[in-house]
């Protein structure tokens, strides 16, 4: 039977305090994300019981309603029936209100919200490009498609274009997140990637009005354009408050584009390049010093990080690793996580005698295994089955420790799920597969032998 998304939307909005209590509204892969004007108006108990809602939690300064794979349909139903500020920016209002009420502003939550707000909007493009990269790795590994063929070049342009022009994607979402004109931010990113400007990297004595310029490559970078977007937002507010309205539309974009881009070239680019390399080298040195412990903790705690939404904080670091080092050593530690969770809830679907639990566990297993989306399994099943969850975390930790000790890395950004297993074998190597097998076998055994239907009632 088809789901009634209007009823779901009505139930959610009614229990978050009504549409007038919603300051801004967005969604990610599995969650509806609300910024509310008054948290006390939320009926958490009733909201959690709305048909179609898996879990309700507060994280990163937001009320997050976990829906699962139907989140897009739920999001569309809310917008179709309620006039809400979709993906609106209210950080400044939140901070002012907190200061006025004498509350301590949640810096960690705000940072997590900024990171997720910048990266979430284009994750679908990243997932598609990452999956295509995995397919191309598979095809070239088995000599099905030669790398020197025009077909490979055409497909690789689709797969790698998103990563090469990453500053353009970040420019739009960061511009919106900081309250700047996103198209002006994109113009600054376009200048960073402009061929003639990029060619200056191989030139000698590059300068701007006699000031020496340290050239870096901006393709695939993360930090420069994010800092540029923030600088742009500050400068735009300054200029809009001081220039006559009649000339703002002409001179504000002109001044902002020139000033911010020059600031990027002279200061922001070189400084963030140093910072990015320092971050990559420090974390790499830490993992090299204690690979077993680091690998275990990263893999074991990854599902816990997902629960609180802080896993998004790793995204800029991972992308920075690819830009600075040409490979990543953090996410490979978690390669078995999705599979361990999928195996555990699949075992629960076989073990449970309740039709509702069997259906939820089965669909959650498919979501985790095929799509790499684990939130339905974590919130809908494992958080209620704490002993099973603990066993899955332990199994994932063992796999992560092996990956850490064996220095498993990846030089291609690909999605991790059942569809990309052959590509994972080619990119991550045999020890990545070993970690997956350990997580899957242990996760299945934990789900089948530890689970009891009474756990779902607690």
Residues 256 and 318 in one domain: no
pLDDT in tens, the chain (458 residues): 457 888 999 999 999 999 899 888 888 767 888 888 888 899 998 998 898 888 888 876 788 898 877 788 888 899 888 888 765 334 444 444 444 445 455 555 566 667 777 877 777 787 788 778 878 888 888 889 999 999 999 999 998 898 899 899 999 999 988 989 999 999 999 999 999 999 998 888 899 999 999 998 898 888 899 999 999 999 999 999 999 988 988 899 999 999 999 999 999 999 988 988 888 888 888 888 999 999 999 999 999 888 776 677 788 888 888 888 888 999 999 999 999 999 999 999 999 999 888 988 998 899 889 878 888 888 888 988 999 999 999 999 999 999 999 999 998 888 888 888 888 888 899 999 999 999 999 999 999 999 988 888 76
- What CATH number does residue 66 fall under? 3.30.1360.60
DSSP H or E segment with residue 239: helix 223-240
> Which element (helix H / strand E) includes 124?
helix 123-141
Residues spanned by the domain of 418: 291-457
**159 occurs within a structural domain:** no
Q: Are residue 199 and residue 175 in the same domain, yes or no?
A: yes
CA angle, corner 252, sides to 251 and 254, nearest 5? Answer: 65
Is there a single domain that holds both residue 312 and residue 375? yes
Residues 181 and 80 in one domain: no
Global pTM reads 0.69
For 301-323, give one letter per residue: b (16+ CB within 10 A) or e.
bbbeebbebbbbbbbbbbbbbbb
Statement to judge: residues 305 and 417 lie in one domain = yes
- What pLDDT shows up at residue 268? 93
The answer to the question of residue 116 being in a domain is no
CA distances 451 to 307, 352, 378, 391, Å, are 21, 8, 14, 11
pLDDT reported for residue 302:
92
3-state secondary structure 401-414: HHHHHCCCCECCCC
Pick from 55, 84, 105: which residue ends a domain? 105
For residues 188 and 304, membership in a common domain is answered with no
Looking at the structure, do residues 270 and 296 belong to the same domain, yes or no?
no
Same domain, 315 and 226: no
Q: How many domains does the chain have?
A: 3
Does residue 250 sit within a domain? yes
Q: Are 301 and 269 part of one and the same domain?
A: no
Residue 119 belongs to some domain of the structure: no
308 and 269 in a single domain? The answer is no
Rounded to whole angstroms, the Cα distance separating 186 from 169 reads 8
Do residues 100 and 205 both lie within one domain?
no
Report DSSP letters for 335-394, one per residue: TTHHHHHHHHHHHHHHH---HHHHHHHHHHHHIIIII---HHHIIIIITT-HHHHHHHHH
Q: Judge if 441 and 335 occupy the same domain.
A: yes
How far is residue 31's CA from residue 69's CA, in Å, rounded to a whole number? 9
């Amino acid at each position: 039977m088809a789901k009634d998304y209007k009823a779901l939307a009505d139930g959610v909005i009614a229990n978050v305090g009504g549409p007038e209590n919603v300051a801004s509204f967005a969604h990610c892969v599995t969650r509806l994300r609300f910024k509310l004007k008054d948290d006390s108006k939320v009926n958490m108990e009733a909201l959690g019981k709305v048909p179609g809602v898996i879990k309700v939690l507060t994280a990163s300064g937001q009320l997050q309603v976990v829906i699962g794979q139907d989140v897009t349909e739920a999001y569309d139903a809310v917008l179709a029936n309620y006039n809400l500020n979709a993906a609106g920016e209210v950080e400044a209002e939140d901070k002012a209100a907190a200061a006025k009420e004498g509350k301590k502003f949640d810096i960690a939550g705000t940072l997590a919200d900024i990171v997720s707000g910048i990266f979430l909007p284009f994750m679908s493009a990243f997932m598609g490009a990452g999956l295509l990269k995995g397919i191309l790795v598979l095809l070239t590994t088995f000599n099905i498609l030669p790398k020197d063929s025009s077909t490979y070049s055409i497909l690789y342009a689709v797969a790698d274009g998103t990563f090469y022009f990453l500053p353009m994607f970040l420019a739009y979402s960061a511009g919106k997140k900081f309250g700047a004109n996103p198209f002006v931010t994109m113009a600054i990113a376009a200048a960073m990637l402009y061929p003639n400007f990029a060619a200056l990297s191989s030139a000698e004595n590059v300068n701007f009005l006699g000031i020496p310029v340290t050239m870096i490559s901006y393709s695939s970078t993360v930090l420069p354009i994010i800092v540029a977007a923030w600088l742009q937002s500050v400068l735009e507010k300054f200029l809009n408050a001081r220039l006559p309205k009649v000339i703002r539309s002409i001179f504000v974009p002109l001044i902002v584009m020139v000033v911010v881009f020059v600031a990027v070239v002279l200061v922001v680019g070189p400084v963030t390049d140093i910072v990015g390399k320092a971050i990559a080298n420090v974390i790499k040195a830490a993992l090299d010093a204690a690979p077993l412990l680091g690998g275990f903790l990263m893999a074991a705690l990854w599902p816990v990080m997902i629960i609180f939404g802080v896993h998004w904080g790793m995204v800029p670091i991972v992308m920075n690793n690819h830009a600075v080092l040409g490979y990543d050593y953090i996410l490979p530690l978690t390669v078995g996580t999705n599979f361990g969770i999928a195996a555990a809830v699949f075992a629960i679907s076989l073990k449970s005698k309740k039709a509702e639990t069997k259906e939820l566990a089965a669909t959650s297993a498919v979501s985790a295994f095929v799509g790499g989306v684990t939130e339905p399994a974590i919130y809908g099943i494992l958080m209620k089955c704490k002993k099973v969850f603990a066993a899955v975390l332990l199994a994932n930790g063992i796999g992560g420790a092996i990956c850490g000790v064996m220095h498993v890395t990846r030089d291609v950004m690909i999605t991790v799920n059942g569809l990309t297993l052959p590509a994972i074998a080619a990119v991550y190597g045999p020890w990545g597969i070993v970690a997956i097998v350990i997580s899957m076998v242990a996760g299945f055994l934990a789900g089948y032998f530890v689970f009891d239907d009474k756990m779902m009632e607690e």
